[in-house]
A and B are shown apart, each in its own frame.
Chain A
């Protein structure tokens, strides 16, 4: 079957694909989204794996979803609600804990209890990070230029970049240079002394990377935590009503309302290229669909190496994408509970269950978890970022029961001997036994669990290597080098073929920017 009356085809119904579709449809274009699975969302989904218990299977919290996307696509009218995650609670090995709230004075008092010096450093650090986040924010919306090119558009881009750099104060400029290159551990150790505070803060530098907190360049990711705050749209991290699947559904609903078509169970086999131009796609079932443009929200590896034939691309680009680092390093364990776990450090409290629980007693704890992974093993004692979605949105579990979402690092995609059921089981067990150290009753209320390894992420969502960012956020994989030098502008060497996924600038997380940028470029190119 052949159809050919579309303006644009979007490959992949993840949040970026859906954002791209909604923007194109909003501009009056005839658009179809082709999703491999029987549901939209990609890695942004909520599924009822155990009856009555809704699991945010992959991504589970949101901070960076661009406010302009929320406004432009009228997402609140389509059901989007981002609920606050008001605290972070880190149990310590000595039975005590350290916590932070969204209230300044309370947090100060709590940290003061552990270290008066840290309590002050915490404020000052927060302010510096917020100022740096403010300083770097414009970069996220600059289309990355090619610094080697003399093309006017690239020179303009460089000029903009230059203007940006010269608009910064000396402190901001050096601050940015430092934070881009330092390790999270080095940076934090300049400020703090309490091990559990250091551990918890450093963890946000390594989420989704195949790096440890002592690896240079991990400090940059810490900044992301302060970006949400300065938008004024919402504070730091939040949990979407209905889980992250709620976000995908809201965007899908918006896209449909603007007139976009979304086809499920439609696996794209190849992009059809004619005369150096993408003209459509061939599906696995033999159907061909034609359109003026094709936007791929798949990862760069799939987009360049699987969906198009090598002959259409320059060797350099192929080489770069082959070397593009997409090593998955994290897994998820989702658990259905008959009651909340009781933490030894705070047995009679459950206010903190509304926020995040971080298993990160020290930097070295996380670094050792990384050591396991770099030699091909999953961490025996992993870093865990835990939330209880049912405490934030009661609809996530049957009344009186709970779901617990554990983001777990490190679990290498390239595990020694490959992933199998036994290893998956053992990986799940490592999360339970680690949690048990701090909440001894965890086994009793466990009704069932789902363990997701990086291999599972790849199998289910199609993301190469199971990397949650479609490619690691490494310095040489950012900005004008993401995903490859000279091809960082969402356009590809094939006319009418665009990269619209997290593998493009500005990168991963539920941000939506790549989808929006790619759609805007396609419109600019006159599709």
Chain B
């Protein structure tokens, strides 16, 4: 019988995972947290260097004369503007302009790209590739990946890499050698901090892990599970498929679908690029008419929340991890949206959430209230629409 897979780092990660906290991610087991509480892991991301196994990401290699043409057709970005060594974050939509998935496109050379995604997309890519001179292969299992995040991540890499990473700019990538192994390093991540993602052959995985752990010892390198990652991505204002939006190909009903505009990705939709791309007509229309929903950040007013707890004689309580549940958001007695992920930010000392609000309530500064449960009773805590991301250190892009 088929089993779910372990990642190529399993030998190391399983030895370190104290609470046996394993999560299923795209057919793999990955560590939820390495310790019984996730505080230390969270702070490693924000203060030192965190090593996260992100192998389960779906990875596709797209090669050939028409590789750029294909990606230009599938995604909303203008792929022809990409230079070799550049990485784009992008969404892709169905022809009704509703998002199917999001991920990164890396241009490895003139005719070779690597696409990452949350869900399997091979079929969609192949459906779109009819008539193109292109070869698509899935490399999810053969390419392992580690995310090294945190303010010290550069220092760790500088110590262990053959070529200097100093000049590697935000959303760029380079070939390098690490622990004697060929790797690709991209300055990308899912934490909103300084960080890198390291891509290697699965067979080299342990060598790279060991080299990084050794080199990082003096910089506080810490293996981090996906629960801490989840908190930081909320602070960074980054959303997640199946949590903050539903893929158009999974949705049961139209209302479950989202457009890139509705998720705040206006900057990724290159309506000025020439010719057909998937969803173009619908996106042009939405751009013209305006979106009826927007994803925004909200900050729950601490004093207001404290008061609700005080009513029953309790101090305010905040969850220890990011909460992936739908929480109604009200204006007056009318529900105007919902929060899809909420999290306590240990750094900002704020209770924050990614929220989806109807027009016109998504404007910055709008006062809303979010449902919270206080001692089994539903209450509405005052909150305010704020700009995303909640947290962006100056060194993120520097």
Contact = CB atoms under 8 A, between A and B. Distances in A.
**Chains A, B in direct contact (C-beta < 8 Å):** yes
5 contacts: A107-B2, A109-B2, A119-B120, A120-B120, A120-B124
Contacts of B3: 106, 109
Interface string A105-125: 111111001001101110110
Given A116-B138, A119-B120, A124 B1 contact: no
A106 B2 contact: yes
B318 interface: no
B123 interface: yes
Interface stretch (B44-52, B247-255, B372-380): B247-255
Given A117-B123, A120-B122, A352-B1, A108 B27 contact: yes
Contacts of B124: 120
B250 A127 contact: yes
Interface in B1-16: 1-5
A3 interface: no
Given A106-B4, A120-B121, 4 more contacts: A99-B1, A108-B27, A120-B123, A127-B249
A134 B249 CA distance: 16
Given A105-B27, A131-B252, A169-B254, A117 B126 contact: yes
A2 interface: no
A21 to B, nearest CB: 38
A78 to B, nearest CB: 34
Contact of B27 (A99, A109, A124, A131): A109
Contacts of A110: 2
B273 interface: no
Contacts of A117: 122-123, 126
A163 interface: no
Contacts of A351: 1
B24 interface: yes
Interface centre among B5, B123, B126, B249 (most CB of A within 10 A): B123
B120 A123 contact: yes
Contacts of A120: 120-124
Q: Is the interface of B mostly helix, strand, loop or mixed?
A: loop
A349 interface: yes
Interface string A75-119: 000000000000000000000000101000111111001001101
A349 B3 CA distance: 14
A119 B138 CA distance: 12
Interface residues of A, number: 23
Contacts of B252: 131, 134
A337 to B, nearest CB: 22
A232 to B, nearest CB: 13
Contacts of B254: 169
A314 to B, nearest CB: 45
Looking at B2, B121, B124, the one whose CB has the most chain A CB atoms below 10 A away is B2
A101 B2 CA distance: 10
Nearest to B141: A112
Contacts of A134: 252
A339 to B, nearest CB: 20
B249 A124 contact: yes
A116 B123 CA distance: 8
Nearest to A104: B27
A227 to B, nearest CB: 15
Contacts of B121: 120
Interface string B241-261: 000000001101010000000
A121 B123 contact: yes
A149 B43 CA distance: 75
Interface in B202-254: 249-250, 252, 254
B284 to A, nearest CB: 20
Contact of B4 (A99, A105, A121, A123): A105
B123 A124 contact: yes
Contacts of A113: 2
A55 B1 CA distance: 28
Interface centre among A120, A124, A127 (most CB of B within 10 A): A120
A86 B120 CA distance: 24
Contacts of A121: 123
Give the interface centre of B1, B5, B121, B252 by most chain A CB atoms within 10 Å. Answer: B1
Contacts of A107: 2
A511 to B, nearest CB: 24
A473 B24 CA distance: 42
Contacts of B138: 116
Contacts of B1: 99, 101, 106, 349, 351-352
Contacts of B24: 105
Interface string B124-161: 10100000000000100000000000000000000000
Nearest to B250: A127
Contacts of B250: 127
Contacts of B26: 105
A121 B138 CA distance: 15
Nearest to B24: A105
Interface in B351-372: none
A137 to B, nearest CB: 13
B278 to A, nearest CB: 16
Contact of A109 (B5, B122, B126, B249): B5
A327 to B, nearest CB: 38
A134 B120 CA distance: 25
A119 B2 CA distance: 14
Contacts of B5: 109
A309 to B, nearest CB: 52
Nearest to B27: A105
